[in-house]
Amino acid sequence: MFATLSDRLTSTFKNLRTKGRLSEADIDATVREIRRALLDADVAVPVVREFTGKVRERALSSEVSGALNPAQQVVKVVNDELISVLGGEQRPLRFAKTPPTVILLAGLQGAGKTTLAGKLARHLREKGHTPLLVAADLQRPNAVTQLQVVGERAGVPVFAPHPGTQEGSDGSLTAAPGDPVAVARDGLAAARTRQHDVLIVDTAGRLGVDAEMMQQAADIRDAVDPDEILFVIDAMIGQDAVATAQAFADGVGFTGVVLSKLDGDARGGAALSVASVTGRPILFASTGEKLTDFEVFHPDRMAGRILDMGDVLSLIEQAEKAFDAEQAEAMAGKLASGEDFTLEDFLVQMQGLRQMGSMKKMLGMLPGMGEMRDAIENFDEREVDRIEAIVRSMTPAERQNPKIINGSRRSRIARGSGSTSADVNQLLERFASAQVMMKQMARGAGLPGMGGMGRLPGLGGKKSRGKMAPLPKKAKGKSGNPALRAQQEREALERAAGKKPAGAPGSAFGLDRPAPTSADPASLDLPPGLEKFLGR
């Protein structure tokens, strides 16, 4: 979504890093490039004007002029202002003191409210809540059926007393009688009876200028008295986001915003405009078609993605959900005991990565990946499936000890996985490298080329905990000169016999001197009174 904007801003900041001090002209040029980038991203003009004004004011202040690295300070200023434009701090959902908490979804036609209702319900169910979906969209064809399918996939019950408008096989529409306001009211009563603590009401999509549909949404709001009214907005509509949001704010009112289709290839102006214009925070973001493509919106993390700083915290949170803590601890113990990292372990790790979601999205969350965007976009997600197919075609013994895989076994594995022997060889070579790396990390040697890191947490042995093994002394090699080598061997024999090596003592400058002899103190011409110091 923010690829173009991110590339433009990153390029602008690169030009700043070549300057030791920033003049007013440099800052004006930077602000001008930022303004162009935001306008090209379809950000609302009032938001752009306010944003660039604050950036210029802070960039010319003492916090930048007195900084050791002014370019980094400008990046920090832009990051702070982006966070402010996106809503500042992340605000969680407000739950009612007395259940059920009622959440009303409103938005334009085609904004993705029905799918988002299922995503939100699944998210709340994972948090320990018991949500109930209400199908109050009786106007759009098959909307009720769609919500029932989405609810089943999310594992959440759906209250749908009326089928709504149905589309026949011949394309004809059949409108069943039903009152959306009564459906919403009955759904609230059902939630109280069945002891659901959250009620999510899906309403009909409408246009901002449709006064009749706006009134219907207002009537549903008055009937259920929602704790949260979430305005679902398509992140790809650009400049229209401001006018649409303002129309809903005047007609229905809302307490928070949900961005849908954030995985699209549009310029993303809605995300940077709606929170600042409406004064309502962005609570959630939908990043794909799957029910798992749903995340809590963090303004600071989104600003980091835009500025190509990555989003490591979100990546860690996804990893904690996908990987079992007990399995991770067992793997650490296995490496600590010196056991090899097997293909069976590799298969478990691959399955955990698949549960985290798209590999492209995960790679995009790493800092500095903007420069590798083309390579990430060309990454084939099916490569993970091919690797898993190859490993699953192996026997348990082959997974435990890949060294037994010979030519005939490779051919059998290739046939079983629908690949070639070359693919199997390539996987085994990559796995051998990964196995060596895991051994080095377990021993505390670190990654290749990065030096030692000490033992990893949880992988320290009892005998060497807190201590480092002494480095072995380098053995002195023998000379290739026959005469010098013979002398070295003779000196070694004399040292073994307790004798000192023979030979006249030399000088530090290479000059031969006669061996020193013991002098008689009586023969020395000494001043009177020094005899007592000679020990006679």
150-198 pLDDT per residue, tens: 999 999 999 988 887 777 666 666 666 678 899 999 999 999 999 999 9
Which residue type does 423 have? D
- What is the model's pLDDT at position 192? 92
- What is the model's pLDDT at position 506? 46
Radius of gyration of the chain (CA): 36
Residue 138 has pLDDT above 80, yes or no: yes
Yes or no: say if 459 and 335 are a contact pair by the CB < 8 Å rule. yes
- DSSP code at position 370: G
Provide mean pLDDT across the span 410-419. Answer: 90
| 264 in a known ligand binding site | no
Yes or no: say if 19 and 13 are a contact pair by the CB < 8 Å rule. no
- What is the model's pLDDT at position 60? 81
Q: Which fold has domain 101-309?
A: Rossmann fold (3.40.50)
Provide mean pLDDT across the span 428-440. Answer: 78
Kindly report, residue by residue over 49-108, the tens digit of the pLDDT.
888 888 888 888 766 666 657 777 788 888 888 888 888 788 888 999 988 999 999 888
Strand, coil or helix: 232: strand
| 205 in a known ligand binding site | yes
| 208 in a known ligand binding site | no
Dist. CA 192–CA 199, nearest whole Å: 9
How crowded is residue 456: how many other Cβ atoms within 10 Å of its Cβ? 15
User: In terms of residues, how long is the chain?
Assistant: 536
Which residue type does 160 have? A
Query: Rounded mean pLDDT of the chain?
Result: 74
Provide mean pLDDT across the span 419-441. Answer: 81
Residue 507 has pLDDT above 50, yes or no: no
Dist. CA 212–CA 528, nearest whole Å: 127
Kindly report, residue by residue over 341-383, the tens digit of the pLDDT.
778 777 777 777 666 666 666 666 666 555 565 666 666 667 7
| 498 in a known ligand binding site | no
Residue 327 has pLDDT above 90, yes or no: no
Kindly report, residue by residue over 4-54, the tens digit of the pLDDT.
677 777 777 777 776 667 778 888 888 888 888 888 877 878 888 888 888
| 111 in a known ligand binding site | yes
Strand, coil or helix: 236: coil
Percent of residues, the chain, with pLDDT higher than 90: 12
From residue 3, give the alpha-carbon distance in Å to each of 24, 242, 266, 364, 473: 29, 22, 9, 10, 54
* 78-84 long-range Cβ contacts below 8 angstroms, 24+ apart: 78/9, 78/13, 78/34, 78/307, 79/303, 79/304, 79/307, 79/309, 81/51, 81/54, 81/55, 82/272, 82/299, 82/302, 82/303, 82/306, 82/307, 83/299, 83/300, 83/303, 84/54
| 110 in a known ligand binding site | yes
- What is the model's pLDDT at position 429? 86
| 153 in a known ligand binding site | no
- What is the model's pLDDT at position 142? 82
Nearest to 242 by CA among 206, 283, 205, 279: 279
| 137 in a known ligand binding site | no
Provide mean pLDDT across the span 301-322. Answer: 66
| 261 in a known ligand binding site | yes
Nearest to 130 by CA among 186, 213, 80, 191: 191
| 243 in a known ligand binding site | no
| 108 in a known ligand binding site | yes
| 353 in a known ligand binding site | no
| 109 in a known ligand binding site | yes
Kindly report, residue by residue over 440-485, the tens digit of the pLDDT.
665 654 444 434 334 333 334 444 334 444 444 444 555 556 666 7
- What is the model's pLDDT at position 100? 92
| 361 in a known ligand binding site | no
- What is the model's pLDDT at position 103? 93
- DSSP code at position 34: H
From residue 357, give the alpha-carbon distance in Å to each of 1, 390, 462: 17, 21, 38
Nearest to 270 by CA among 535, 102, 479, 42: 42
Q: Which two tokens stand for residue 504?
A: 């006249």
- What is the model's pLDDT at position 500? 46
Please report which confidence band the pLDDT of residue 510 belongs to, taking 50, 70 and 90 as the band edges.
very low
Beta bridge partners of 101: 198
Yes or no: say if 9 and 307 are a contact pair by the CB < 8 Å rule. yes
Yes or no: say if 134 and 187 are a contact pair by the CB < 8 Å rule. yes
Yes or no: say if 136 and 260 are a contact pair by the CB < 8 Å rule. no
Residue extents of the structural domains in the chain: 3-85, 101-309, 317-443
Domain 101-309 shares a fold with domain 317-443? no
Dist. CA 70–CA 494, nearest whole Å: 68
Residue 293 has pLDDT above 80, yes or no: yes
CATH of domain 317-443: 1.10.260.30
| 245 in a known ligand binding site | no
Q: Which CATH superfamily is domain 3-85 in?
A: SRP54, nucleotide-binding domain (1.20.120.140)
Q: CB-side exposure of 285: number of CA atoms within 13 Å?
A: 23
